[in-house]
Structure 1
């Protein structure tokens, strides 16, 4: 009873596909249900009319992808065909139309349309169009597997759409830091290659590209500028501290116990040594065909190595907890300059990688 009531509601609301499904479900359980037998033919007829009107509207339109919409309408009707065939009682009152041939024809037309769009894009001869063509040939194959030579054309479009990006060797003023700069560049190239930022972007180390005669489409130049490694600052602090502490008790004239206070003193000697390394990385992305600068920026980075040690003279009881934290330790040598160079370039590397991933993900 509930299936028929819901079927009638769906029918009255114009939801004919759902109404057909509800009536068929009812007839699967109760083949003699009068309401389902009466309304199913009308619901199917209305559904068929609605879908075929949509098909005619699509066919009259100028939409280049209209055959995919036509395919969807035919598939909706074919689902009703299969559904009605699942209930013998439904077949007694409705003879559904088989749309399999219509679906096949629509798929062929849709695939042909996608293929033709891909060919037209390839004929433009630019990389952006080749990348769009790759998607069109892929869409044709999804519609009809092994459609013509779409698979070969898809591979051709992929190769034509690739952007070869060469990352330059890094210009460093001091040869002392060249090895660290080369490590920076090598790690950047490997990371960009492994991240799969964009299927159409291939990153190359400049030396590799030169050896393999790879013609870059874009060139990323890198140069460290205005960098200082190992600038040392020493702060020496001497501070007197004192504190009143209880050293005993006594009684006043009334017999009340009172504390005896004594002032204790000490002198803190704190040495704070900092070694600062900082610099800028200048990078620029250039289109090698027309010389146009696509992006340029300067990224700052810094690293401060800190060594603090201290001692005191006097009464330890005068020291606060904070004072105690500052004493101890020993004078230590800072890391080697190459290590300091690596440390200040870490935040630069992180920012540069984010910039390049963002830029090339949009190609």
Structure 2
């Protein structure tokens, strides 16, 4: 085992060298990746032989491969030929910049090539072809096509910032691609005059500010939908309390006798000398535990706005148990534990107000509900 471990220690640097020199990428025909790895290795170790050889052989091949691919794209009728050619020439520029930042690489490739002079025209043409494709997709007036248009308009903005009316088109495409969901939260009716405002506010805060799983979903309150005069709504998300209980009270009384051995109970005289006497002490402990249980179920339904079909229906349970414990004892205190004595020093305390109990049992429901919303709408 020691011999094997020693051999591994010797081989590891060689294996790492082969990987980082770019030799493996070169042998697989990925000349661009081989060049970048070799250059990076030479930046760390300028005289690294394998990396110098990989760069010497790989750079001309990478340049030839990239230039040929760009020329093929430009000669084709592909819908995004300028975008593809632009990406190829940008690869040449990446190699140019990387070699310039590596003294060891510059000793091998003295005059790396760049295509910065070609980029402005290619970017203009790439912006034009992407803009036209985006407009075609946008005019199909479907959510999926609007998504495609949105990302194409983003490309246009990256190629030529401020191209035509691209910023307005980005906003238009995003709006068309966005699933518009109106959230209906049903008020709570209770003899305690409880308010679900805290719970509703937390849900709305999550949906408006913290929901991040899909940029193409937006939630509206009915008031917001009316104010913004939405041309259409895709779905309704309806939240309501199916049932709930606040302040269900139970008092549990327990009586138990405890004992402890080897406790000093006094002294005795033996052969004229006082000695401690040990025995068993007992105490009767009476405890009361008042439990106030609050629980409920929230229902989440998602309806298709056009067909009124139910797309999903989930229920979430929440419970909060508040309790108070106190007690009394008779007998010898030393038979009790510190915790039991502490209980006997307590007195009955009143439970929190019903509104506070209501809020507490909705907290676990909030976690379940937001997780379900996140999961359901991530697919859109």
Shorter-chain TM-score range: 0.7 to 0.9
- Per the TM alignment, residue 361 of structure 1 is displaced from its structure 2 partner at its CA by 4.4
Query: In 2, distance between residues paired with 1:169 and 1:236?
Result: 41
Partner residue of 1:75 out of 85, 90, 94: 90
- Per the TM alignment, residue 250 of structure 1 is displaced from its structure 2 partner at its CA by 5.9
Given the superposition, is the C-alpha separation of residues 96 and 303 from structure 1 closer, same or farther in structure 2, using an over 3 Å criterion? closer
SS at match of 2:208: helix
Which residue is equivalent to 2:134?
118
Contact 1:310 1:327 in 2 (8 A): yes
Partner residue of 1:54 out of 69, 88, 91: 69
Given the superposition, is the C-alpha separation of residues 240 and 94 from structure 1 closer, same or farther in structure 2, using an over 3 Å criterion? closer
Which residue is equivalent to 1:182?
197
1:247 lines up with 2:265 in the alignment: yes
Which residue is equivalent to 2:253?
236
Partner residue of 1:149 out of 165, 184, 188: 165
- Deviating more after overlay: 233-242 vs 198-207: 198-207
Spell out the pairing of 1:205-354 with structure 2 (5 A cutoff). Answer: 205-210=221-226, 213-214=229-230, 215-244=232-261, 245-248=263-266, 260-354=277-371
Given the superposition, is the C-alpha separation of residues 263 and 290 from structure 1 closer, same or farther in structure 2, using an over 3 Å criterion? same
Rg bigger for which structure? Answer: 1
- Per the TM alignment, residue 57 of structure 1 is displaced from its structure 2 partner at its CA by 4.3
- Per the TM alignment, residue 190 of structure 1 is displaced from its structure 2 partner at its CA by 2.8
Query: In 2, distance between residues paired with 1:102 and 1:182?
Result: 60
Query: In 2, distance between residues paired with 1:212 and 1:48?
Result: 54
SS at match of 2:253: strand
Given the superposition, is the C-alpha separation of residues 76 and 231 from structure 1 closer, same or farther in structure 2, using an over 3 Å criterion? closer
Unaligned ranges ≥5, structure 1? 1-6, 26-35, 85-89
Given the superposition, is the C-alpha separation of residues 246 and 99 from structure 1 closer, same or farther in structure 2, using an over 3 Å criterion? closer
Unaligned ranges ≥5, structure 2? 1-20, 43-51, 101-105
Partner residue of 2:152 out of 136, 153, 159: 136
SS at match of 1:312: strand
- What value does the CA root-mean-square deviation take over the aligned residues? 4.0
Contact 2:188 2:195 in 1 (8 A): no
Given the superposition, is the C-alpha separation of residues 94 and 208 from structure 1 closer, same or farther in structure 2, using an over 3 Å criterion? closer
Given the superposition, is the C-alpha separation of residues 175 and 57 from structure 1 closer, same or farther in structure 2, using an over 3 Å criterion? farther
Given the superposition, is the C-alpha separation of residues 318 and 361 from structure 1 closer, same or farther in structure 2, using an over 3 Å criterion? same
SS at match of 1:180: coil
Which residue is equivalent to 2:122?
106
Which residue is equivalent to 2:8?
none
Query: In 2, distance between residues paired with 1:343 and 1:170?
Result: 19
SS at match of 1:266: strand
Given the superposition, is the C-alpha separation of residues 45 and 349 from structure 1 closer, same or farther in structure 2, using an over 3 Å criterion? closer
- Per the TM alignment, residue 342 of structure 1 is displaced from its structure 2 partner at its CA by 1.5
TM-score (normalised: structure 1): 0.75
Contact 1:55 1:70 in 2 (8 A): yes
- Per the TM alignment, residue 189 of structure 1 is displaced from its structure 2 partner at its CA by 1.1
